[in-house]
Amino acid sequence: MARLHAACFTLPPPWSAQELAATQEGRFSFTLERPGGFLMAQVVAGEAELLTLAVDPGARRQGIGRALVAGFLAEARARGAESAFLEVAEGNAPARALYEGQGFAETGRRRGYYRGEGRQEDAILMGCSLA
């Protein structure tokens, strides 16, 4: 998973194998996998957070991300979540369109949140109701 995450992210920086493993071991966390991609999330106190989503760059636009996000929403509901949220880099237009297509809307912004490689980018906060 770390190799795939590294192939997908530069800003924000990719997660290490240790960070991915620690996230998977979290009490409230869950991981969804499909050939060519994975998603990590957690549900705490009625809120679901999509922590990261990685789809192999060579396998994009084939429905993998859409299936993973739909699976996240279904699993979040099954775990009792009433709402879901995530953050995404402002410049990641394909991801933003994917999330909007699954019912997420922009709820806020963290200015200059992502920093690295001599640049910075805003994080767009997005959320949706699961009721």
pLDDT at 12 over 80: no
Domain 2-129 has CATH 3.90.1640.10: no
pLDDT at 88: 96
Catalytic residue list = 87, 99
pLDDT at 8: 87
User: Where does the pLDDT of residue 29 fall: very low under 50, low under 70, confident under 90, or very high at 90 and above?
Assistant: very high
Whether the CB-CB separation of 38 and 54 falls below 8 Å is answered with yes
Mean pLDDT on 33-57: 96
- Give CA separation, 109 vs 11, 34, 81, 121, in Å: 16, 30, 23, 10
Lowest mean pLDDT: which of 11-20, 50-59, 85-94?
11-20
